């Protein structure tokens, strides 16, 4: 006989309810372990997020360690119909104003063959070749024969990808309107198209556009370049020539990009505040729900805040008292530990003491600025081998694993306990059934 029903057949005892209650009492230790595991998992997750936040702060600090971080410039052009100007990220530009006159822009060589009746007209009477050259490049050759059409020749030329593009146009003429045009892929006189062998019936007698170099005057000096994109006249600046007007002078201005510098400092402040905000929001105790945040009472999280705060509020050794703290560039801290950046004060510092601002953040042979100080502090906290968050999470992971093992072991014990109860109650019910049978027998005598 087994205890499968909700109550004993003989005793009418609700064994299932009784077993459930007894098993639940036995499971209380497992419930406590599961609660403890959940708490540790929440801590581990919170420390993982904190590690990401500190890593982001380290990245923002890394962007400020080098003097090149502040060598960012922006450009202005007085007439963008003539030319455009962009400053590259090579940090080789310098502040200045330049007078530019575009005498001529660079042009590609473009020649046209005499017309034929159709794009399917054949252009050769027998086997031969059509060869051409772009500038000083290698001579390129396509084979032709009596079946070669104008369109076929165009496709063969383009198939070489040899610096010359072939196109077909219909000029609208009453007879022979289809013309093959060869255009150099690159501008400048050095890239002119030359036909070196022509075994076709086509005569390239028309120059649609002569090859031409760009001629540009910068601050009174004249330069000739094969391209309209010029990178080697004004250091760090790319000029994009759009049109020419020898009578017009365009002013190109290059200045420090204070907005970009401000953006980098804002990233440092914002990422620092993200770390502090995460620690603060997880370091509370709710008296109503009687629940503690993941960092409540956690010394590691608190030490992260303390160490970063000390660095951010420190001074850079070896720098003058007028430019050795973050407050000198407008970065201040309120009573809650939250930092903010005063853009007006930063702009003033950049204008009055640009080199001092650079030294405040850069790592050099003689000083370690805030870029390096914050980077080192954050790196020590997050180091994958022995950073304190890494070590903390490793410890939490081990404890979680131990608890999981305990839960597995206790689950086995509870299952065995339930089986024992069922066996005992089955035995009890069997014994009661035997006594009932004896009672009935005695009663029948």
256-313 confidence digits (pLDDT tens): 999 999 999 999 999 999 999 999 999 988 888 888 889 998 999 999 999 999 999 9
Cβ 366 vs Cβ 350: under 8 Å:
no
Residue whose structure tokens are 């017009």: 248
Name the DSSP class of 251: E
Question: Who contacts 391 (Cβ-Cβ below 8 Å, separation ≥6)?
Answer: none
Question: Who contacts 10 (Cβ-Cβ below 8 Å, separation ≥6)?
Answer: 429, 432, 433, 436
Looking at the structure, tell me whether residues 137 and 227 fall in a common domain.
no
| Model confidence at 4: pLDDT above 70 | no
* Cα 45 off chain centre by: 23
Looking at the structure, tell me whether residues 100 and 237 fall in a common domain.
yes
For residue 12, what pLDDT is reported? 63
For residue 384, what pLDDT is reported? 86
DSSP SS3 for 82: coil
Comparing 28-42, 187-201, 209-223, 357-371, the range with the smallest average pLDDT is 28-42
Q: ∠ CA(435), CA(436), CA(438), 5° rounding?
A: 65
| C-alpha closest to that of 256 among 179, 361, 349 | 349
Looking at the structure, tell me whether residues 200 and 222 fall in a common domain.
no
- How many structural domains are present in the chain? 3
For residue 419, what pLDDT is reported? 82
pLDDT one-digit tens code per residue, 39-70 = 899 999 999 999 999 999 999 999 999 888 89
Residues 174-181: what's their mean pLDDT?
Answer: 95
Highest averaged pLDDT of the listed ranges 319-333, 385-399, 406-420: 319-333
Q: How confident is the model at residue 422 (pLDDT cuts 50, 70, 90)?
A: confident
CB atoms within 10 A of CB 215: 18
Looking at the structure, tell me whether residues 94 and 243 fall in a common domain.
yes
| C-alpha closest to that of 325 among 333, 317, 316 | 316
pLDDT one-digit tens code per residue, 136-154 = 999 999 999 999 999 999 9
> Percentage of the chain with pLDDT > 70?
96
Which residue range(s) make up the domain with 238?
A: 73-106+213-256
Largest CA distance in the chain: 139
What are the residues facing 216 on neighbouring strands?
102, 223
Q: How far is CA 122 from CA 11, 149, 183, 188, 233, in A?
A: 111, 4, 22, 33, 49
Looking at the structure, tell me whether residues 184 and 295 fall in a common domain.
no
**For residue 285, with 0-12 CB atoms within 10 Å meaning exposed, 13-18 middle and 19 or more buried, which class applies?**
exposed
* Mean pLDDT, all residues of the chain: 91
Looking at the structure, tell me whether residues 295 and 437 fall in a common domain.
yes
Looking at the structure, tell me whether residues 249 and 133 fall in a common domain.
no
**Token pair belonging to 317:** 């050794």
In this structure, the chain runs to a length of 445
For residue 90, what pLDDT is reported? 60
Question: Who contacts 287 (Cβ-Cβ below 8 Å, separation ≥6)?
Answer: none
pLDDT one-digit tens code per residue, 329-385 = 999 999 989 999 999 999 999 999 999 999 999 998 888 999 999 999 999 999 988
For residue 100, what pLDDT is reported? 98
Q: How far is CA 85 from CA 245, 247, 249, 402, in A?
A: 17, 20, 14, 64
Can you point out the beta strands (E) in 322-403?
331-333, 339-341
CB atoms within 10 A of CB 310: 11
Looking at the structure, tell me whether residues 232 and 245 fall in a common domain.
yes
Cβ 383 vs Cβ 389: under 8 Å:
no
| C-alpha closest to that of 203 among 288, 113, 132 | 113
CB atoms within 10 A of CB 274: 18
For residue 26, what pLDDT is reported? 81
Question: Who contacts 406 (Cβ-Cβ below 8 Å, separation ≥6)?
Answer: 33
Comparing 94-108, 225-239, 261-275, 404-418, the range with the smallest average pLDDT is 404-418
CA distance 388 to 49: 14
For residue 11, what pLDDT is reported? 56
Looking at the structure, tell me whether residues 435 and 348 fall in a common domain.
yes
CA distance 146 to 126: 4
CA distance 103 to 96: 22
Q: How far is CA 70 from CA 350, 375, 413, in A?
A: 10, 17, 66
Looking at the structure, tell me whether residues 163 and 135 fall in a common domain.
yes
State which of 174, 190, 209 marks the end of a domain: 209
* CATH code of the domain covering residue 325: 1.20.1330
For residue 371, what pLDDT is reported? 95
Looking at the structure, tell me whether residues 200 and 318 fall in a common domain.
no
| Model confidence at 440: pLDDT above 60 | yes
For residue 182, what pLDDT is reported? 98
Q: How confident is the model at residue 421 (pLDDT cuts 50, 70, 90)?
A: confident
Cβ 108 vs Cβ 227: under 8 Å:
no
Looking at the structure, tell me whether residues 232 and 202 fall in a common domain.
no
- Region at 330 (left for phi over 0; alpha for psi -120 to 50; beta for the rest): left
Alpha helices (runs of H) in 150-294, residue ranges in sequence order: 150-159, 258-281
| Model confidence at 2: pLDDT above 70 | no
Cβ 179 vs Cβ 114: under 8 Å:
yes
For residue 304, what pLDDT is reported? 95
CA distance 86 to 24: 74
| C-alpha closest to that of 268 among 425, 114, 57, 409 | 57
**For the chain, the helix, strand and coil percentages under 3-state DSSP, each to the nearest 5:** 45, 20, 35
CA distance 46 to 358: 35
């Amino acid at each position: 006989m087994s205890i499968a029903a909700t109550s004993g057949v003989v005793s009418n005892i609700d064994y299932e309810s009784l077993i459930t209650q007894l098993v639940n009492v036995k499971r209380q230790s497992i419930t406590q372990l599961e609660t403890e595991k959940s708490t540790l998992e929440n801590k581990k997750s919170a420390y993982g997020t904190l590690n990401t936040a500190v890593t982001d702060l380290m990245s923002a600090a890394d962007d400020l360690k080098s003097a090149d971080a502040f060598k960012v410039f922006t450009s202005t052009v007085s007439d963008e119909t003539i030319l455009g100007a962009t400053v590259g990220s090579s940090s080789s530009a310098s502040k200045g104003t330049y007078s530019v006159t575009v005498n001529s822009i660079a042009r590609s060589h473009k020649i046209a063959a005499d017309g034929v009746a159709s794009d399917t007209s054949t252009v050769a009477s027998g086997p031969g070749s059509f060869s051409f050259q772009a500038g000083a490049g290698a001579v390129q050759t396509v084979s032709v024969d009596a079946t070669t059409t104008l369109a076929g020749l165009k496709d063969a030329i383009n198939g070489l990808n040899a610096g010359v593009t072939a196109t077909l146009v219909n000029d609208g003429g009453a007879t022979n309107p289809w013309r093959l045009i060869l255009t150099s892929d690159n501008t400048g006189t050095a890239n002119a198209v030359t036909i070196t062998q022509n075994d076709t019936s086509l005569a390239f007698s028309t120059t649609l556009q002569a090859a031409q170099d760009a001629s540009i005057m910068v601050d009174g000096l004249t330069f000739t370049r094969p391209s309209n994109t010029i990178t080697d006249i004004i250091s760090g600046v790319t000029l994009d020539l759009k049109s020419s007007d020898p009578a017009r002078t365009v002013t190109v201005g290059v200045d420090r990009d204070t907005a970009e510098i401000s953006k980098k400092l804002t990233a440092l402040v914002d990422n620092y505040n993200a770390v502090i905000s995460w620690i603060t929001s997880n370091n509370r105790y709710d008296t109503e729900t009687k629940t503690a945040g993941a960092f409540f009472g956690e010394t590691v999280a608190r030490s992260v805040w303390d160490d970063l705060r000390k660095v951010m509020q420190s001074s850079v050794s070896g720098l003058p008292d007028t430019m050795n703290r973050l407050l000198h560039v407008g970065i201040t801290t309120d009573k809650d530990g939250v930092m903010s950046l005063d853009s007006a004060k930063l702009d003033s510092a950049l204008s009055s003491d640009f080199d001092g601002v650079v030294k405040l953040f850069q790592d050099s042979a003689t000083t370690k600025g805030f870029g390096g100080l914050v980077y080192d502090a954050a790196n020590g906290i997050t180091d994958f081998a022995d950073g304190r968050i890494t070590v903390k999470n490793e410890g939490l992971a081990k404890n979680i694993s131990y608890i999981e093992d305990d839960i597995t072991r206790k689950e086995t014990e509870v299952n065995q306990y339930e089986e024992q109860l069922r066996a005992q109650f089955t035995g009890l019910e069997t014994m009661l059934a035997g006594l009932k049978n004896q009672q009935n027998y005695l009663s029948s005598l």
